[in-house]
């Protein structure tokens, strides 16, 4: 018995030493940050800015890999299954919380398959259409959609995506369902909106601001409580006639469950530095958003956010009664 206890204690000490030795040398090779959407979209844009800054701080490349499809759940599943060694991370958004209810079956257990690095940013959404779409304001858009519900199309990045959530909120608010066209991300969806192949989209300002400013798409409202400095002429949803239609798309960085606390701490500190990087702050501002605070860029804050958001959206999604299998 004594022997067994001694060898268990030795094994535990060895595991602890091995983990702190790994943490001391971490990172000693390239880190992969998975974006669960296609390249060129808003999540991709945010991730590339943060990854570039973290690469400089960590002294190792943080490369971005796009694993789009199924509203972000394929990319999340990839990270849930990866080795918890700190070399495969996930940058996901609010969809991490909504897909926990939207999907009857997920390949991972949302609240138990991940460790947390921290929150990154919260981005408003914009309701936009192709440039030559007739309606001139949100009220006109709502009337048009109601009158043409069989022919208007809404682009989204699949069930579980922020664009899906916003589209679902829009349809429920105006009590009209219309056709959705799913993409692997709103990067490719934006290409089709610009080309006039789809009519409407609700997407993060990190994807739409430049296009709205350039007049290549039309914007009807922002989903933030106040107007944005970068889009001063675009009314809030509240001003434009859709009260209670506010949504902020928070983003966070996750690691597979079982990642050592020392590694998570290193990553979280590096994230905090990236969010104070002048280039990141300036680029975020141009895109209508700002970095999360240092207190929010922590494992505890992201864990609390995910848990509260799963609970917040569950009844909303259940009331809408729309699920994916
Ligand atoms: N904005 C997209 C969404 O609908 C995702 C993306 O392509 O970044 O969630």
Return the structure tokens found at 66: 């796009």
Q: Are 103 and 317 in contact (CB under 8 A)?
A: no
* Ligand 1 atom with least separation from CA of 166: 4
| Alpha carbons 282 and 315: distance in angstroms, whole number | 37
* Ligand 1 atom with least separation from CA of 71: 9
For every residue of 283-307, DSSP letters joined together read HHHHTT--BPPTTTSSHHHHHHHHH
Query: Phi and psi for 267 in degrees, rounded to 5?
Result: -65, -40
Q: List pLDDT tens digits, range 258-308.
A: 999 999 999 999 999 999 999 999 999 999 999 999 999 999 999 999 999
In the numeric block, the tokens 């800015």 are attached to 49
All domains of the chain in start order, with CATH: 28-122+249-320 (3.40.190.150), 124-222 (3.40.190.10)
Q: If we measure between CA atoms, which residue out of 61, 55, 63 comes closest to residue 32?
A: 63
* Ligand 1 atom with least separation from CA of 94: 9
| Alpha carbons 157 and 102: distance in angstroms, whole number | 14
| Candidate of 35, 42, 91, 252 to mutate for ligand 1, largest count of ligand atoms within 8 Å of Cβ | 42
Q: Residue 42: CB within 6 Å of ligand 1?
A: yes
Q: List pLDDT tens digits, range 61-113.
A: 999 999 999 999 999 999 999 999 999 999 999 999 999 999 999 999 999 99
The CA-atom distances, in angstroms, between 211 and each of 128, 200, 216 are 10, 14, 5
* Ligand 1 atom with least separation from CA of 161: 9
| Candidate of 73, 95, 123, 163 to mutate for ligand 1, largest count of ligand atoms within 8 Å of Cβ | 163
What is the sign of the dihedral through the CA atoms of 183, 185, 186 and 188?
A: negative
pLDDT band at 206; cut points 50, 70, 90: very high
CA torsion 71-299-307-175 (nearest 10°) is -40
Distance 39 CA to ligand 1 centre (A): 10
Distance 186 CA to ligand 1 centre (A): 5
pLDDT value of residue 320: 80
pLDDT above 80 for 7 = no
Distance 203 CA to ligand 1 centre (A): 7
* Ligand 1 atom with least separation from CA of 158: 4
pLDDT band at 16; cut points 50, 70, 90: low
pLDDT above 80 for 56 = yes
| Candidate of 72, 166, 183 to mutate for ligand 1, largest count of ligand atoms within 8 Å of Cβ | 72
| Alpha carbons 26 and 59: distance in angstroms, whole number | 10
pLDDT value of residue 102: 95
| Alpha carbons 59 and 46: distance in angstroms, whole number | 20
């Amino acid at each position: 018995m004594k022997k067994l206890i001694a060898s268990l204690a030795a094994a535990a000490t060895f595991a602890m030493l091995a983990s702190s030795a790994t943490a001391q040398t971490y990172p000693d090779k390239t880190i992969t940050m998975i974006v669960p959407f296609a390249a060129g979209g808003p999540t991709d844009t945010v991730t590339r800015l943060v990854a570039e800054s973290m690469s400089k701080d960590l002294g190792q490349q943080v490369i971005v890999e796009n694993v789009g499809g199924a509203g972000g759940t394929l990319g999340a599943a990839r990270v849930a299954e990866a080795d918890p060694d700190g070399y495969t991370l996930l940058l996901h958004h609010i969809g991490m919380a909504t897909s926990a209810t939207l999907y009857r079956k997920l390949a991972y257990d949302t609240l138990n398959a991940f460790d947390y690095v921290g929150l990154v940013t919260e981005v408003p959404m914009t309701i936009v259409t192709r440039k030559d779409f007739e309606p001139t304001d949100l009220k006109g858009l709502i009337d048009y959609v109601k009158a043409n519900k069989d022919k208007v199309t809404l682009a989204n990045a699949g069930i579980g995506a922020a664009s899906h959530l916003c589209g679902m909120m829009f349809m429920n608010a105006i009590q009209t369902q219309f056709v959705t066209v799913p993409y692997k991300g709103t990067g490719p969806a934006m290409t089709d909106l610009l080309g006039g192949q789809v009519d409407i989209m609700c997407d993060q300002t990190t994807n739409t601001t430049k296009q709205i400013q350039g007049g290549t798409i039309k914007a009807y409202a922002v989903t933030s409580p106040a107007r944005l400095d970068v889009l001063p002429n675009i009314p809030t949803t509240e001003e434009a006639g859709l009260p209670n239609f506010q949504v902020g798309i928070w983003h966070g960085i996750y690691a597979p469950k079982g990642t050592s606390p020392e590694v998570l701490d290193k990553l979280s500190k590096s994230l905090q530095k990236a969010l104070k990087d002048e280039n990141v702050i300036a680029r975020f501002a141009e895109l209508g958003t700002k970095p999360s605070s240092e207190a929010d860029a922590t494992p505890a804050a992201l864990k609390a956010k995910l848990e509260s958001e799963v609970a917040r959206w569950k009844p909303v999604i259940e009331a809408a009664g729309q699920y994916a299998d």
